[in-house]
Amino acid sequence: MPFIGLLHIVIAIFFAVHAVRTGRQMYWLFILLAFPLLGSLVYLFAEFLPEQRNSRLVRKTGAAFKAIVDPGRELREAEAALEQTPSMGNRLRLAQALLGAGRAGDALPHFEACAQGFFAKDPEALQGLARAQLAVGRKDEAFATLNRLLEAAPERQTGELALLYAQVTAQAAPLQAEAAFRIALERHSGMATNSAWGQWLAAQGRKDEARAVLELVLKDARLGSAHARGLHREEIAAAQAALRALA
């Protein structure tokens, strides 16, 4: 029994650290430390699992597996689901499938339809809309969409959303880009963020800083697992290209 009590504390501390690192509201610390078991369960379902569900790593892993087993399956199933039941949830699923298939232009009207009414402040719908807008070159609209999302829920500027916001800001509001990247580095460090940060530094002419960051990306790729290299293939290739351009 003492072990179980200790386990509750360890889990609560893990979530407390996650809350601090990802910029969650400070009341979570009180809830987690005052009520370790109940607080951990609430945090798990209210904050942690939704973030993992929207994680690019989780999506890319699932997408890679489906692409190997049956390319195009998710898109076919999403189209069939929407035809059978034209709900906003199914429309959002189709929009995401189209975006994942590289058809941002086709995905865009579906995301626009989803980001209204009940889904007007839905993080998944707005984040997908911003990605589609950016993919078709509508950077200012993507920036406005992300600001709309973060104004409604500023604590969500974490994870892959923090990186996306930095990348969009770099194109739509360059003077604010460094601050956005530093938030992303604090809340979503890893190969994807470091690769984007290094490329941005290189574009600003900060060659020494860029070289150090990009070399770190390649070092992490060498030391990491084959699975991680596969998931971050695009980011690694971009870092290599940026390093060659600096030579």
CATH of the domain at 99: 1.25.40.10
The pTM of this model reads 0.70
Same-domain check for residues 47 and 17: yes
Over its length of 247 residues, how does the chain's per-residue pLDDT go in tens digits? 455 556 768 787 888 887 776 667 778 887 888 888 888 888 877 777 666 555 555 555 555 555 555 567 889 999 999 999 999 989 999 999 999 899 999 999 999 999 988 778 888 899 999 999 999 999 999 999 999 999 888 888 888 899 999 999 999 999 999 999 999 999 888 899 999 999 999 999 999 999 999 999 999 999 988 888 888 999 999 999 999 999 8
Same-domain check for residues 19 and 64: no
Same-domain check for residues 61 and 148: yes
For residues 56 and 128, what is the distance between their CA atoms, to the nearest angstrom? 12
Same-domain check for residues 142 and 61: yes
Q: Does 246 fall in a domain? A: no
Same-domain check for residues 87 and 132: yes
- Residue 8 is part of which domain span? 2-52
Q: Does 33 fall in a domain? A: yes
Q: Does 124 fall in a domain? A: yes
Find out whether 168 and 212 touch, Cβ atoms under 8 Å: no
Question: Of 137, 155, 173, which residue constitutes the final position of a domain?
Answer: 155
Question: Of 155, 177, 201, which residue constitutes the final position of a domain?
Answer: 155
Please classify residue 242 by burial: count the beta carbons closer than 10 Å to its beta carbon, then call 0-12 exposed, 13-18 middle and 19+ buried.
buried
**How many domains does the structure of the chain reveal?**
2
Q: How far is CA 20 from the centre of its chain?
A: 18
Tokens 């509001």 belong to which residue? 173
Tokens 């992490």 belong to which residue? 220
Residue type, position 95, single letter: A
Q: What is the pLDDT of residues 100-110, one digit of tens each?
A: 899 999 999 99
Q: What is the pLDDT of residues 158-181, one digit of tens each?
A: 888 999 999 999 999 999 999 999
Helices (H), the chain: 2-21, 27-34, 36-43, 49-53, 56-69, 73-84, 88-100, 104-114, 123-135, 139-152, 159-172, 177-187, 191-203, 207-223, 226-231, 233-246
Question: Of 131, 155, 179, which residue constitutes the final position of a domain?
Answer: 155
Q: Does 86 fall in a domain? A: yes
